[in-house]
Homo-oligomer: A and B are copies of this chain.
Amino acid sequence: MEEILEKKLESGPLNFESYFSEKALKMKASEVRELLKLVETSDVISLAGGLPNPKTFPKDIIKGILEEIMEEHADKALQYGTTKGFTPLRLAIAEWLRKRYNIPTSKVDIMITSGSQQALDLIGRVFLNPGDLVVVEAPTYLAALQAFNFYEPQYIQVPLDDEGMRIDILEEKLRKLKAEGKRVKLVYTVPTFQNPAGVTMTEERRKHLLELASEYDFIIVEDDPYGELRYSGKPVPKIKALDTEGRVLYLGTFSKILAPGFRLGWIAGEPHFIRKLEIAKQSVDLCTNSFGQVVAWRYLEGGHLEKHIPRIIEFYKPRRNAMLEALEQYMPEGVKWTRPEGGMFIWVILPEKINATTMLEKAVKKGVAYVPGEAFFAYRDVKNTMRLNFTYVDEDKIQEGVKRLAETIKEEL
């Protein structure tokens, strides 16, 4: 039976390429992804992952919830659900958004998605014509680019600094584009503990971004998977909490605050937008798995989420600290990195002459892996950066991994 594990792609009677759509012919597997697959089975210390640590999964709580579900809610948990999602869960999320984030929900509708990734794909489907202008951070979340790419937008890159997206540069670009008769349709941002850079957009910039949205008439996609994972510093309001015109689509997920295995995210936004996204979702998967939705509902309703978040923070904070300390201790001069107040990632900027993509193989030989930064740029035009994850491996390995990485960099210099 092992043959099923990794099928060889053999030639056969069919000319396979002749059946694919033009867009499918352009879809390529990422080489880095393939390399990193190999790493997973070796003794390389991988700082490349993006997985939450399974030790943060609230297993005892989930166990209790599962028993409760099979006693009291089995018919609903096991049946098809509506496309928009399980209503009690939607209500519980609305309450969470209102109480915890001050997001006024009277004019907000909520749709459950099969992870935030599906939300990104549906947004592409509903909003993007080929050639439409989409603003992304540079760097931005890789899988958002993958989701949007199918819809063939044109990307406008806006750089980040320690205070998040450079809204002044965005404004400059918007002005120029307008002068050319062009309109930006979407601005995609991970404003809080960004993936990959770890930085957080300041409140001031969030307000400025909303002003620009109104002035230049665009929609903001606020992707917020890590917002609850704050280890230091002060909370910043969600952009959605400051949104008076209904321009913000807020994406949340249970992957980092419950467990990724239920594959649950949500979109909160203006009801007209949610309505269209709902119709689009009907044709792609009918509904998100009901079972996970019922679990998440009991998790929220039972007050477990609120109690569990501090435990996740307690678990991740020393790991972030360990990585920042190791970087300080080992990295040669000329290497810079971000100092995230939360999330899962630190972004490393190497001297310009180093190509982090080609260096990866050497690093793996030295026993450490990372994600080269290139793929996080819409135009893949920056080669000297990398993303490090601090949530998956423990402190000792973080220390050792960063040490090996520093050695690789020193040799490369």
Contact = CB atoms under 8 A, between A and B. Distances in A.
Interface of A: 1, 3-5, 7-10, 12-14, 16, 18-24, 27-29, 51-52, 54, 57, 59, 62-63, 66, 70, 74-81, 87, 90-91, 94-95, 105-107, 109-110, 114-115, 117-118, 121, 125-129, 132, 143, 146-147, 149-151, 185, 217, 219, 245-247, 255, 259-264, 270-276, 279-280, 282-292
Contacts of A4: 87, 90-91, 94, 105, 109-110
16 contacts: A7-B271, A9-B275, A18-B217, A21-B127, A21-B129, A22-B129, A24-B125, A54-B79, A57-B74, A57-B79, A59-B78, A80-B255, A81-B261, A114-B114, A114-B289, A259-B291
Contacts of A87: 4-5
Contacts of A19: 127, 185, 219, 273
A78 B259 contact: yes
A340 B55 CA distance: 51
Nearest to A147: B283
A279 B127 contact: no
B289 A263 contact: yes
Nearest to A291: B261
A115 B87 CA distance: 21
A355 to B, nearest CB: 25
Nearest to A258: B78
Contacts of A128: 21
Given A21-B125, A21-B127, A117-B283, 9 more contacts: A7-B271, A21-B132, A22-B129, A28-B279, A29-B279, A59-B70, A114-B285, A143-B282, A284-B284
Contacts of A261: 76-81, 289-291
A386 B75 CA distance: 28
B27 A276 contact: yes
Contacts of A263: 114, 285, 287-290
Q: By CB atoms of chain B within 10 A, which of A28, A74, A126, A283 has the most?
A: A283
A132 B20 CA distance: 11
A282 to B, nearest CB: 6
Contact of A121 (B3, B21, B284): B284
Contacts of A77: 261
Contacts of A247: 14
Given A1-B95, A12-B270, A285-B115, A280 B27 contact: yes
Contacts of A80: 51, 255, 260-261
Contacts of A12: 107, 245-246, 270
B62 A78 contact: yes
Nearest to A37: B82
Contacts of A292: 289, 291-292
A219 B272 CA distance: 38
A204 to B, nearest CB: 23
Nearest to A69: B66
A89 B252 CA distance: 29
Nearest to A40: B82
A74 B91 contact: no
A325 to B, nearest CB: 28
Nearest to A287: B263
Contacts of A129: 21-22
A260 B219 CA distance: 35
Contacts of A271: 7-10
A115 B118 CA distance: 14
B115 A286 contact: yes
Given A80-B261, A282-B146, A274 B115 contact: no
Given A12-B246, A14-B247, A263-B285, A126 B24 contact: yes
A78 B57 contact: yes
A185 B20 CA distance: 9
